[in-house]
Structure 1
Amino acid sequence: MDHRQLATDVLRSVGGKENINKVTHCVTRLRFELKNNKIPNAEEIKKMDGVLTVIQQGGQYQVVIGNQVVPVFNELSSLLGDLGESNSSDDVQGEKKNLFDRFTSMISGVFMPIMGALAASGIIKGLLACLSAFGVLTATDGTYIVLNAIGDTLFYFFPVFLGASAAKYFGLNQYIGMVIGGSMVYPSLLSFVGSEQQLTFLSLPMNIMNYTSSVFPAIVAVWFASLLNRVIEKRIAQGFRYFLAPFIVLLITVPLTLFIIGPVISYLSNGLADITTAIYNFNPVLAGLVLGGPWILIVMFGLHWAFIPIFINNMATIGYDSVMGLLAANQFAMAGAALAFGLRAKDKQMRTLGISTGGTTLLGVSEPALYGCYFHRKNR
């Protein structure tokens, strides 16, 4: 596959740079936010070498590439220049999206930049759990301690990472987002969690909570800071804006987060975890049919990003997520079907396709198998 040529052809077919508000990518897809979604020629794009399919969903024009999406995106970025960096999702002009489309776009935009590190951290923690279960390592071993630090850092300081990623998405300076997230897990503040001593700010009592590993509070706090920053920058002279705007934003956002935003969103997050657990406990079989059954369709349309923060939130608040177990059955079934397709295929290229996509599906990336093995051969 010629990555440069494919990026050039896709760019031309979606209407060129002038029709693009923003472009990002996930594990397998180029995700365009276009000014006019009627311009692209979907059939032309589908026929390109290296393109699996095209999906228009969630307010985005999605070109499914598969495992080669990163080099294609890099080539596309070089053709677009600084387009993707200069536009935040709220500033660009284009077709109006409904609330759900905006939410899924936001979630994918915030989580995708850290997804690689998140997956790596999860693998390390899973490996440590296996080594511990089989007695190879104990919690007091130096090797265990070092590996656990590597695997646990992102989860412990999640608000910092999310603060940076959310700031980039909402058009705020990333370092301001990191400060907001970092202040939520600052050791001196965490020492007041569960303490009999009351922390006050301007003589007002604060309800300090433990935001380590939390998901939604940092995102909402940075979103608020981005809105506040826009208002402030319009009212400050250019010469003072560079240092005065961040000063005011942090001085207002961080205390407000500790007073209101953090506690409110934390209570809502706990409620969301309770709801998903209650659905599962009501009838696991019914939950499997309702959630696990159509999951392949949800992934196909790129709407699975709406569920990612729920899964992570459940892991952070209650330590596990029952729904992911239901979806794992779906994932293993898809992997088995792809591997079976590869083992039975007579054509060498199809055999390689089935076995390789079956392997990536086992690792959690199902789109290559979905579009490479299943849909194009659903009647065979």
Structure 2
Amino acid sequence: MSKKYEQLAKLIADRVGGSENVSTLAHCQTRLRFVLFDNKKADKEGLKSLEGVANVIESGGQFQVVIGTHVEEVYEEVTKFVSPNLDEQLVPKDNRNVLNKLIDFISGTFSPVIPAISGAGMVKALLALLVLFDLVSNDSQTYYVINFMADSVFYFLPVFLAYSAATKLKCSPYLAVALAGILLHPNFSALVVAGDAVTVFGIPMRLVAYGTSVIPILLIVAVQRYIEGFFKKIIPNAVKIVFVPMFTIFITGLLALLIIGPIGSYAGEYLAMGFEFMQEYGAWIAPTLIGAFLPIMVMFGLHHGIAPLGVMQLTAFGYEGIFGPGAIVSNIAMGVAILMVSIRTKSKKSKQLASANGITALMGITEPGLYSIALPKKYPLIAAIIGGGIGGLYAGITHTVRYTTGTSGLPAIPLYIGEDIGNLINILIALVITAVITCVLAYFLSFKFEKNEEESIESEKKELILENTIIRNPIEGQVFPISEVKDEAFASEALGKGFAIEPSEGRVVAPFDGKVVTIFPSKHAIGLVSDTGVEVLIHVGINTVELNGKYFEAFVEAEQPIKKGQLLLTFDLEKIKEAGYVTQVPIVVTNTPQYSKFETLIEGQTQKEKAVFSVSV
């Protein structure tokens, strides 16, 4: 296995607070999803500053680290450094509101199942293409076999959901699967088919086909958690391994067949009636809202609470128009808007990012482009919201649906192939409308939002023609090797080559002529770029982000030009020491890969503005 992301994984593990602060860890298509015992122990700003981390979001009770499409590889490395703490006594009281708890539960239950559902959906899409091009007949054995291969995931969906729900609720996933097996057992299915009245201990049992159902098993596992937990507390350890599973299966199983399952089935039926009503009288609402605002939902993780509604509609009717149509037009809108940036921007870095992330968005994964391009530049997000909303409106008005689930990008188009070819034509029209409107809006908005062309060209020249640079001492104090900094991210040079200072005063001045790239809200760190192209991060203290700006004052702002020796920041050195923080100041060249040679010119006590570090191309 590649260790490409080992260093990044270690830094992520450290900055979320280590194993002792991690209750659970999972991942979706683009994010690491932590549930932490104490979010305040995580270095959120430190995580955001890592190369390879697009953003950090706290939503639905989860601490989400946005990575990108390679998240699974990063996850595998993170698990080497993080072992979730399963001691329930350490879990703090859950003060989240009901909505956040529900979103967290739904997200945590459905996210692990999505790959199986998507894979099965794409198999059905492939089968639809084979039929469309007359390569396979609807009444052939080949069609029959491939069809039940794909349908197996949907029929046994209660089993998949049982396992993931139990894992989320921290009860036995294997007992949960056993309970799901009761609902799908051939003997029970035979009773349902026969339709004769059945009683258990004199109690009539409602005969319901639970294959493809969703709500009943979620309710059953929720009850299992309490029944299993109760017997774990009262049964002696010596016989717990036998009697806890016995009582859990016996009692929960009877409750499932006689009470919980029927209640869940009634809820599912009413939900299906709601879906049917919406599809008949308000089919445009969901695709329009999701087409427009899916990027916002993604930012806050809310889409994971909505997408399962589409799965429920699909299992009830064989099609879904709640999430899929809106999601595909939104993702295409985002992809087109980002690709327009690659055409309009004069920045080489932005052009490269936009080209790669735009294509990724067209394939259905928008988060890398959303955080790296659309949000910083604003106009691609505006264009995508408007274009996606109008495309979603058309899809809704024409009652466009998809017949199975899968990705929400260009590869998902075959999911809309049904007996009526008009459905496929309508989604294609919706995508064309989306792409055209988004493209035109992004183009015209770019004139307002993109930087002046001449400035961009000059900046590009500086990016391409880097010069040897002398970095002067920005803080009076003791200069020492960065390898001795009491923070592994800096000491390991993972963030770049550089040097460090133990300050003797609380004033930071510009080490060269250039401009301010960024200044952190907590004012403890500032990013600069010299007129010769060297990008430098000055980080005052270790973990001082926790002070939230206390004891710091900034005298410049982002994008402001600076001159060598100009005052940038001040900080109360003694107060920071009294607060217990290490006051070392790492100074790193963040675009280290663009240079070949680095040399510390002087060590020991050094005054401000003395030449201390040399960077050579």
TM-score normalised over the length of structure 2: 0.57
Instruction: Summarize deviations over 1:262-290 as a string: whole Å, max 9, x none.
Output: 11112212222332443443344444444
Q: Is the 8 A contact 1:232 1:245 kept in 2?
A: yes
Unpaired segments ≥5 residues, structure 2: 379-448, 451-617
In structure 2, the partner of 1:243 is 242
Q: Is the 8 A contact 2:215 2:267 kept in 1?
A: no
Matched residue type, 1:249: T
Report whether the alignment pairs 1:158 with 2:157. Answer: yes
In structure 2, the partner of 1:370 is 370
In structure 2, the partner of 1:176 is 175
- Which region of structure 1 is more displaced relative to structure 2, 118-127 or 338-347? 338-347
Q: Is the 8 A contact 1:22 1:87 kept in 2?
A: no
Matched residue type, 1:232: F
In structure 2, the partner of 1:3 is 5
Structure 2 Cα separation of the partners of residues 73 and 42 of structure 1: 18
Matched residue type, 2:204: P
Give the C-alpha shift of residue 297 in structure 1: 0.7
In structure 2, the partner of 1:141 is 140
Report whether the alignment pairs 1:116 with 2:115. Answer: yes
Report whether the alignment pairs 1:204 with 2:206. Answer: no
Structure 1 Cα separation of the partners of residues 25 and 209 of structure 2: 35
Q: Percent identity?
A: 32
Change (3 A) 1:344 1:186: farther
Structure 2 Cα separation of the partners of residues 185 and 108 of structure 1: 24
- 1:43 maps to which of 35, 42, 45: 45
Instruction: Summarize deviations over 1:301-343 as a string: whole Å, max 9, x none.
Output: 1111111221111111122222222333222212222333345
Give the C-alpha shift of residue 361 in structure 1: 2.9
Q: Is the 8 A contact 1:8 1:76 kept in 2?
A: yes
Instruction: Summarize deviations over 1:113-132 as a string: whole Å, max 9, x none.
Output: 22211111110011112222
Q: Secondary structure at the match of 2:209?
A: coil
Give the C-alpha shift of residue 35 in structure 1: 2.1
Q: Is the 8 A contact 2:203 2:258 kept in 1?
A: no
Bigger relative contact order (CA 8 A; separation at least 6): 1
* Structure 1 or 2: more strand by fraction: 2
Give the C-alpha shift of residue 71 in structure 1: 1.7
Q: Is the 8 A contact 1:160 1:181 kept in 2?
A: yes
In structure 2, the partner of 1:55 is 57
Q: Is the 8 A contact 1:36 1:95 kept in 2?
A: no
In structure 1, the partner of 2:474 is none
Structure 2 Cα separation of the partners of residues 285 and 253 of structure 1: 41
Give the C-alpha shift of residue 44 in structure 1: 2.1
Q: Secondary structure at the match of 1:54?
A: strand
Q: Secondary structure at the match of 1:322?
A: coil
Q: Secondary structure at the match of 2:57?
A: strand
In structure 2, the partner of 1:268 is 267
Structure 2 Cα separation of the partners of residues 234 and 111 of structure 1: 29
Matches within 5 A, 1:75-114: 75-81=77-83, 83=84, 86=86, 92-93=91-92, 96-114=95-113
In structure 1, the partner of 2:25 is 23
Matched residue type, 1:375: L
Structure 1 Cα separation of the partners of residues 360 and 142 of structure 2: 29
TM-score normalised over the length of structure 1: 0.91
Change (3 A) 1:260 1:289: same
Q: Is the 8 A contact 2:127 2:147 kept in 1?
A: yes
Matches within 5 A, 1:315-330: 315-324=314-323, 325-330=325-330
Aligned residues: 377
In structure 1, the partner of 2:337 is 337
Instruction: Summarize deviations over 1:193-214 as a string: whole Å, max 9, x none.
Output: 2534122222322111111111
In structure 2, the partner of 1:66 is 68
In structure 1, the partner of 2:305 is 306
Matched residue type, 1:360: T
Change (3 A) 1:87 1:161: farther
Computing the radius of gyration from Cα coordinates, the structure with the larger value is 2
Q: Secondary structure at the match of 2:297?
A: helix
Structure 2 Cα separation of the partners of residues 165 and 8 of structure 1: 27
Change (3 A) 1:144 1:360: farther
Structure 1 Cα separation of the partners of residues 114 and 282 of structure 2: 31
* Structure 1 or 2: more helix by fraction: 1
Change (3 A) 1:91 1:201: farther
Q: Secondary structure at the match of 2:40?
A: coil
Structure 2 Cα separation of the partners of residues 345 and 143 of structure 1: 51
Change (3 A) 1:23 1:54: same
Structure 2 Cα separation of the partners of residues 366 and 258 of structure 1: 42
Q: Is the 8 A contact 1:220 1:261 kept in 2?
A: yes
